[in-house]
Each structure stands twice: as C-alpha cells, then as structure tokens.
Amino acid sequence: MAALIWLIAGIALFAAEVLSGDLVLVMLGTGALAAAGATALTGSHVAAVGVFAVTSIGLLVLARPALKRRFLLGPGVRTNADALVGARAVALSTVDSHQGRVKLAGDEWSARSFIEGQVIEPGTTVTVVEIAGATAVVSSEP
C-alpha cells in the first residue's frame, strides 16, 4: 500500500511539472518513484524516505543545473562575459596594450589592445577578442 502511495505521488509530481516547467517537481517525482521501488523491495518506510531524500537531493544538485542549461538555454548559448567575445565596440579613448576605454554593449569598459604595441585611436571600431576580468581585450583588426 505504501509503494502505491509513493507511485501516485511520483506521477502527480510529474504531472505538476508540466505546469511549472522549472525541473524541480520532476526531480522530486523521480525521488518518489525510487521510494516506491524501495518500499516494494524492502517494505521499510525508513528506507523509502531515505531513498526519496537521497535521490531527490542528488538530482536537484547534480542533474537539474545541467538539464536547465541544456533545455532552457539550449546548446552553445553563451552567457555573461562569454557573450561579449566577438562583439563590436568603439574606442572612447586611446587604447594601448596597458589601458584605454571602450563603449561595449551600451556600457563603458576598461580595455587594452590584444596586440602588444598596437595603439587604437578614439572612435575606432574594435572587436572584443576576450574578456579578462573587468577588462575587454580588443583588436582593431578583424
């Protein structure tokens, strides 16, 4: 009887996930199904609760972040500073291999040139080669 309750709870959590779409309830539903299996095999309520807790927490911590990235963001979607690499910017001040300022994605960034010794004049359109901390490493060459 307890295994049936766990089974119904698991199915209900899976069904509720359709409405939430946050991948939390599916992890809890999987934990409930695992608990149903543990109850059917052992008959122990303590073992079922332990299996539910370990499975659910493990899935929430380990599997959910990877699944969220995969399904919600899609493969190959760059975020944060990675999304700025390859973007165009405009030099606001002289940019050399040590210092400078650029307008990048609507914000003013500290910058330095990618090529040692290259000096980029204000107003020049540049390409972001990498983001190093809070500094945009740029090049005027494509």
How confident is residue 76, by pLDDT bands cut at 50, 70 and 90? low
Q: What pLDDT, on a 0 to 100 scale, did the predictor assign at position 73?
A: 60
The answer, yes or no, to whether residue 74 has pLDDT greater than 70, is no
Looking at beta carbons, which pairs linking 88-93 to residues 24 or more positions away fall under 8 Å? 88/125, 88/126, 88/127, 88/128, 89/125, 89/126, 89/127, 89/128, 89/136, 89/138, 90/123, 90/124, 90/125, 90/126, 91/120, 91/121, 91/122, 91/123, 91/124, 91/125, 91/126, 91/138, 92/122, 93/122
Q: What pLDDT, on a 0 to 100 scale, did the predictor assign at position 19?
A: 87
Rounded CA gap, 59 and 80, in Å?
Answer: 26
Q: What percent of the chain has pLDDT over 70?
A: 92
Q: Which position has the higher pLDDT, 105 or 34?
A: 34
111: DSSP letter: E
Identify the residue whose tokens are 């606001």: 92
The answer, yes or no, to whether residue 79 has pLDDT greater than 60, is no
Count the Cβ atoms, other than its own, within 10 Å of residue 28. 21
User: Which pair of tokens denotes residue 24?
Assistant: 């939390």
Q: The whole model's pTM is what?
A: 0.51
How confident is residue 55, by pLDDT bands cut at 50, 70 and 90? very high
Q: What pLDDT, on a 0 to 100 scale, did the predictor assign at position 31?
A: 94
Q: What pLDDT, on a 0 to 100 scale, did the predictor assign at position 112?
A: 92
- Across the chain, mean pLDDT equals 87
What CA–CA distances, in Å, run from 45 to 22, 31, 50, 51, 61? 29, 14, 9, 10, 24
Q: What pLDDT, on a 0 to 100 scale, did the predictor assign at position 61?
A: 93
Residue 41 makes CB contacts below 8 A (sequence gap 6+) with none
